[in-house]
Structures are given as C-alpha cells and as structure tokens.
Amino acid sequence: MAVCLDRKTAPVPTAVMRITLTNFRNYEKLHLKVTEQPIVLTGTNGIGKTNLIEAVSFLTPGRGLRRARLSEIARHGTSSWSIAATVMTPAGPVEVGTGLECATYCPHW
C-alpha cells in the first residue's frame, strides 16, 4: 500500500534543535546546535557517538537507551550530571532537561 503525503497532511516532525551536556558520560561540557534536517554522527570508536544518542534518549520517560543506573551516568570523577535541550514540537519549541545532583552520597539506583 502506498501513501502519498503533501506538506498539508504530513505530520510535523519533533526535532532536538539544541542539546547541552554537563558531566554526562565522556562529555565534560557539550553545546550542540543543529537544524531540523537529519544528521549523521561519525567518529572513531569511543569518541562519544552513542553517549550523545543516549543523552537524547534520557529526554523521554524511562531509563535511557542503555537502561543504566542514574548513578552510572556521571563523567568519571564527578557525581552530578545534566542534560538540557530545546525540542521543536508541533506546538513550537519546548525546553526540557534532566539530571542528577549528588551533594555527598548517592545510593546505587
């Protein structure tokens, strides 16, 4: 079955337009702005491509792409992490974020 969509009937995409990571996995600090066009992540093994995709997955309900414990997400040597993003939705841009702040001790969730 073929479906033909034009601009009037095509669904409006949801796109991450900006993402900021702080102490997330191998990223000490990352500010990334993109357009609504598809992007391709390239780089050598271990550079952080999957970590970036995992960060985006934390912007939706659940435990993220790898189902890691929240205490395992922080960059080595740190105890807190955060993700902030601007997401373009059919209703317009929305600011979202998540993270974990541990003052002295965080149990292993």
19: domain CATH number is 3.40.50.300
**In this structure, is residue 22 part of a structural domain?**
yes
Please report the pLDDT score of residue 72 as a whole number: 82
3 assigned to some structural domain = no
Residue 43 domain-assigned? yes
In a domain, 48, yes or no: yes
Beta carbons of 18 and 85 less than 8 angstroms apart: yes
| Mean pLDDT to the nearest integer, 64-73 | 79
Residue 87 to residue 38: CA distance in whole angstroms: 14
pLDDT of residue 109: 43
| Band of residue 82 on the pLDDT scale cut at 50, 70, 90 | very high
Question: Residue range 79-102: average pLDDT?
Answer: 91
Whether 41 shows a pLDDT value over 70: the answer reads yes
Supply the range of the domain harboring residue 46: 15-100
Q: Please indicate, yes or no, if residue 9 is contained in any of the structural domains.
A: no
The number of domains in the chain is 1
Taking residues 51-73, report their average pLDDT. Answer: 84
Q: CA-CA distances (angstroms) from residue 57 to 3, 54, 93? A: 29, 5, 18
105 part of a folded domain: no
The answer to whether residue 91 is domain-embedded is: yes
8 domain-assigned: no
Q: pLDDT confidence of 71, banded at 50, 70, 90?
A: confident
Q: DSSP alpha helices (H): ranges in 1-109?
A: 49-57
Asked if the model's pLDDT at residue 106 lies above 70, the reply is no
User: How many angstroms separate the first and last alpha carbons of the chain?
Assistant: 46
